[in-house]
Chain A
Amino acid sequence: MSDASLVFHQDFPVKGGDFAKAGAVACRIKELLKDLGFDSWTVRRAAIVVYEAEMNVVMYATDAQVALSVAPGSVRLVVDDRGPGIPDVDLAMTEGYTTATAEMRELGFGAGMGLPNIKKNADDFHIESEVGRGTRLDITIRTNGHGTS
């Protein structure tokens, strides 16, 4: 995505441990993408990606920034967190693998579906993680010409 094609960019902070506000960024981004004219399927995929990422930050990280970049026909989401990092990314990408606590599971999360579900809803998905520093997700969702025309 070149800067020339960028039509919208906004950064959103997410605080680790703040379960009460988890989902607020996903709902905000969902409204923004609707207002920008994206189709409902693209909006839903982006919202699910952000929500899963937000929950991961809330459950495991200290804080994070979610960067939303919109270009004609695509939505890019970069989630950069400061946190413990993931020792084995391949294992973390396995459906059902989790290190969640009982408290997290009682909230309905931590079932080991977060990262696989983010990948499922992305057209391009990249993950980098460094133990002791944090994790960076780079996701692109493409549409079929809908939105931000």
Chain B
Amino acid sequence: MIVLKDVLALLDGELLTSPTSPDAAFEKVFASDLMSDVLHSAEPGALLVTGLANSHVVSTCAVADLAGIVFVQGKRPAADVVGAAQARSLPLIATKMTMFEACSRMAGRLEDGGHVRR
């Protein structure tokens, strides 16, 4: 499990939606640019990491019960996409890191049981 405030710190991320609880927790992390794969394989409660920033990413997460989205490599969704996520209480995070770097940083945290590494 990984919490929102740790995701923001690890990825040097920017929260694009209004502040939700910094202790909001994600059970798992799933990375893909293919929404078909998200619908097929991602688990409810997971955090999606993607380089795709269109409205279908938010719709896909809403349909499949994912709990948050990280946009990598400086991708930023349009204002209406942010609004749609906000309406569904889905936190959106933007980071300049690549997909690989974002995933590897969070993987280290998940392997550590969600505890801070020093």
Q: A: which residues have CB within 8 A of B?
A: 19-20, 22-23, 26-27, 30, 40, 44, 47-48, 51-52, 107-114, 116-117, 120
Chain B interface extent, by class = 20 to 34
Pair A111/B59 contact, Cβ less than 8 Å? no
Bound-complex Cα distance A109 to B38 (A): 10
Identify which of B34, B39, B54 contacts A48 (C-beta below 8 A).
B39
Pair B54/A113 contact, Cβ less than 8 Å? no
Given contacts A51-B39, A108-B35, 12 further A-B contacts (CB under 8 A): A22-B56, A23-B56, A23-B59, A26-B59, A27-B63, A52-B36, A108-B33, A108-B52, A108-B57, A110-B36, A113-B34, A113-B39
Pair A114/B63 contact, Cβ less than 8 Å? no
Pair B59/A51 contact, Cβ less than 8 Å? yes
Cβ–Cβ < 8 Å partners of B56 in chain A: 19, 22-23, 107-109
Pair B59/A114 contact, Cβ less than 8 Å? no
Q: B: which residues have CB within 8 A of A?
A: 33-40, 44, 52, 54-57, 59-60, 62-65
Q: What's the minimum C-beta distance from A32 to chain B, rounded to whole angstroms?
A: 14
Bound-complex Cα distance A40 to B45 (A): 12
* Max count, chain B CB within 10 A of own CB: residue among A22, A51, A52: A51
Identify which of A27, A44, A109, A112 contacts B35 (C-beta below 8 A).
A109
Known: A27-B63, A48-B64. A107 touches B54 (CB 8 A): yes
Cβ–Cβ < 8 Å partners of B33 in chain A: 108
Q: What's the minimum C-beta distance from A65 to chain B, rounded to whole angstroms?
A: 19
Identify which of B39, B40, B59, B62 contacts A22 (C-beta below 8 A).
B59
Cβ–Cβ < 8 Å partners of A40 in chain B: 44, 65
**30 A-B Cβ contacts within 8 A?**
A22-B56, A22-B59, A23-B55, A23-B60, A27-B62, A27-B63, A30-B62, A40-B44, A40-B65, A47-B63, A47-B64, A48-B39, A48-B64, A51-B59, A51-B60, A51-B63, A107-B52, A107-B54, A108-B35, A108-B52, A108-B54, A108-B60, A109-B34, A109-B56, A110-B36, A113-B36, A113-B39, A113-B40, A117-B36, A117-B39
Identify which of B34, B40, B62, B65 contacts A120 (C-beta below 8 A).
B40
Identify which of B34, B44, B60 contacts A111 (C-beta below 8 A).
B34
Pair B63/A30 contact, Cβ less than 8 Å? yes
Bound-complex Cα distance A27 to B14 (A): 27
Known: A27-B63, A40-B65. A114 touches B54 (CB 8 A): no
